[in-house]
Amino acid sequence: METVISDTLGALMPHTMVRDGIVLFVGLVISISLHEFGHAAMAVWLGDPTPRSPTRLLRGRVTDLGAVLGVTRGKDNRYTINPAAHADPIGTVVLPLFALFLMPTAALFGWGRPVPFNPSAARAKVSQKRMVILVSLAGPIMNLLQALAYSVLLVGLLALGVIGTGYDLADATTGWVSTLVALNLLLAFFNLLPVPPLDGGQILVHSLARTNPQWSSWLQQYGLFVFLVLFPMLPFILSPVQALSRAWITWLMSLAGEPLVLLG
């Protein structure tokens, strides 16, 4: 009976699909967590203690490495790279797992819990508007930095001759890294779309607060509905980013004379 069940599951979901799905899920969770940590770190750096929960070590100071690593995580501390602090049950867990294992042809997509911060708590030289813009930009910038880090890793793998060795795991590794490069580029530009509740939307709302308060208020009130209307069109809206990602990865792969490798 166990053999029959195992063969059936293997036919429905090959082991390579499970393996790739798990790796990409972990990569997405890390990408989302570091995105949210970027927001929290920028807010704390600008003088706002809101994202950071006091901890026992070092009396909760910013230099508390344990808090950042999540080892001494206080209640709802967001100034940490610990994924558990940033995970949204639907956006970080359910939806990505559904896309990876039940609808593998769907685009990998997800989000984390918004990081709370207080614009009025910024240092004296930083206006509330500037703080909102900087904190909002920090998340996408963190995704761009991750894309750069994965790009360097990909070039390193190519330099070591990992790809083309004939080993499935070696070739799969370059596929995972290539996909995480594209994923982080997509997350960065997606979050910069000028529609609330995305980071780009928050930047637009606060940029218009003085020059056009009516539009700013309208976006705050109806931005989510605009986003829901635009959601089905996201593949078309983000197609230039996908093309850019493929061009970038193609160039990286060309450094070793290898073809483009992407999963999904």
Cβ proximity of 46 and 135 under 8 Å: yes
Q: Which contiguous run of DSSP H or E holds residue 223?
A: helix 213-230
Please report which confidence band the pLDDT of residue 40 belongs to, taking 50, 70 and 90 as the band edges: very high
| DSSP category for residue 165 | S
pLDDT digits (tens, 9 = 90+) for 5-38: 334 434 445 667 788 888 899 999 999 999 999 9
Residues 82 and 86: their CA atoms lie apart, in Å, by 7
- Reply yes or no on whether the pLDDT at 120 is more than 80: yes
pLDDT at residue number 131:
93
pLDDT digits over 162-179, tens only? 765 555 677 788 888 999
Q: What is the mean pLDDT of residues 47-53?
A: 85
Q: How far apart are CA 82 and CA 253, in angstroms?
A: 32
